[in-house]
């Protein structure tokens, strides 16, 4: 089984998103091992493509990529300053007064940033917390102030305008660079862009950036094929029975490799070139069974993620989002980069 990753498509998507916010710095979000595709290869390529600001979720992720890019690149840690964490060479995005005071006590003079909660109620200082420490926090010289939109993938959702207004109110007169927009926010338009935008899922070929170049192809090896007579079952639970004499191929991946079990019985398919081959029976731990009756010759590999079935199509079938499809991919895949 092999995961082919087109780094040139990732950098092209990054540059295209950056071009949509010409007045802002374009940061690259590379958390979760660059959304499961391999930060060690992708981060240096993004640096070469012009990215100088990177975002990770955890300090451990930041420490992993810090040696890969020059010192003029900034690595921001969205979980902030967690107790006992090594933040050498990193910039914590502090999320609470507690984190702010811890960071200033332990890292005086070192760079930090601030996250505000503008209504998502996930991370960041609420308005009352921010008001209480605003003067002291601004005097300490944060690198930037950010927030995060909850509904940016729905352009008409009223939460977008409400969060924008809250962010403007909370940061009025701060004279500090500001950042509100990730991929969805970039697409909402200039009023959301401020001084820095954060390209994330759109770089990796996912919605809501519909114009993104495809980034990943996932090919699964055919282990075995067999003839199944009409009425015979295939897979755990006997959930699928052949309606006609069929040819069934078994491929070498399953939910242990991040192919969601929820894809069972949904109409998900593997592709032999342009020919669709339905998944039949349940996705099991290491194996998937596929109806290849329509193929004259069964090729050595069949594609699950490809131009005909991109990550968001799979996500729709599984009742999830493209982010989960990518980040679920496990390390058993042999990765090749182009």
Cβ distance 294 to 288 under 8 Å?
no
State yes or no: is 110 an active-site residue.
no
**257: helix, strand or coil:** helix
**61: helix, strand or coil:** helix
The closest alpha carbon to 294, from 256, 260, 246, 259, belongs to 246
Q: Which of 31, 204, 323, 333 is catalytic?
A: 31
Helical segments of 191-266, H only: none
Bridge partners of 28, per DSSP, are 54, 199
List Cβ neighbours of 17 (8 Å cut-off, separation of 6 or more).
Answer: 26, 183, 186, 197, 199, 202, 203, 209
Cβ distance 29 to 198 under 8 Å?
yes
State yes or no: is 236 an active-site residue.
yes
Helix or strand (DSSP H, E) at 304: strand 301-305
Find out whether the peptide bond into 208 is cis, omega within 30 degrees of 0. Answer: yes
DSSP secondary structure code for residue 256 in this structure:
G
φ, ψ of residue 326 in degrees (nearest 5): -70, -50
CA distance 267 to 277: 10
Residues designated as active site: 31, 236
């Amino acid at each position: 089984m092999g995961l082919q990753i087109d780094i040139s498509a990732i950098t092209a998507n990054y540059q295209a998103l950056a071009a949509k916010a010409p007045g802002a710095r374009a940061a690259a979000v590379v958390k979760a091992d660059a959304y499961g595709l391999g930060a060690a290869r992708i981060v240096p390529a993004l640096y070469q493509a012009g990215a100088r600001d990177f975002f990770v979720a955890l300090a451990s992720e930041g420490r992993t990529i810090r040696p890969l890019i020059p010192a003029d690149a900034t690595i921001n840690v969205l979980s902030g300053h967690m107790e006992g964490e090594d933040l050498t060479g990193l910039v914590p995005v502090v999320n609470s007064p507690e984190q702010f005071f811890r960071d200033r006590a332990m890292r005086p003079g070192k760079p930090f940033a601030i996250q505000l909660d503008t209504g998502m109620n996930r991370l960041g200082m609420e308005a009352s917390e921010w008001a209480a420490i605003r003067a002291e926090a601004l005097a300490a010289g944060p690198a930037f102030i950010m927030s995060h939109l909850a509904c940016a993938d729905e352009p008409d959702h009223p939460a977008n305008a409400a969060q924008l207004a809250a962010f403007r109110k909370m940061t009025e007169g701060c004279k500090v660079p500001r950042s509100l927009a990730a991929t969805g926010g970039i697409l909402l338009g200039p009023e959301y862009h401020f001084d820095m935008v954060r390209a994330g899922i759109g770089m990796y070929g996912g919605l809501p950036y519909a114009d993104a170049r495809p980034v990943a192809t996932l090919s699964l090896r055919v282990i075995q094929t067999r003839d199944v007579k009409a009425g015979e079952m295939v897979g755990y639970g006997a959930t699928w029975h052949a309606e006609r004499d069929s040819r069934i191929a078994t491929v070498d991946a399953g939910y242990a490799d991040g192919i969601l079990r929820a894809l069972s019985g949904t109409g998900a398919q593997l592709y032999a070139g342009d020919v669709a081959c339905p998944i039949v029976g349940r996705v099991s731990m290491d194996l998937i069974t596929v109806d290849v009756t329509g193929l004259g010759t069964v090729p050595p590999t069949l594609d699950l993620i490809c131009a005909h079935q991109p990550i968001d199509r799979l996500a729709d079938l599984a009742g999830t989002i493209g982010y989960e499809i990518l980040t679920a991919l496990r390390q058993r895949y042999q990765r090749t980069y182009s």
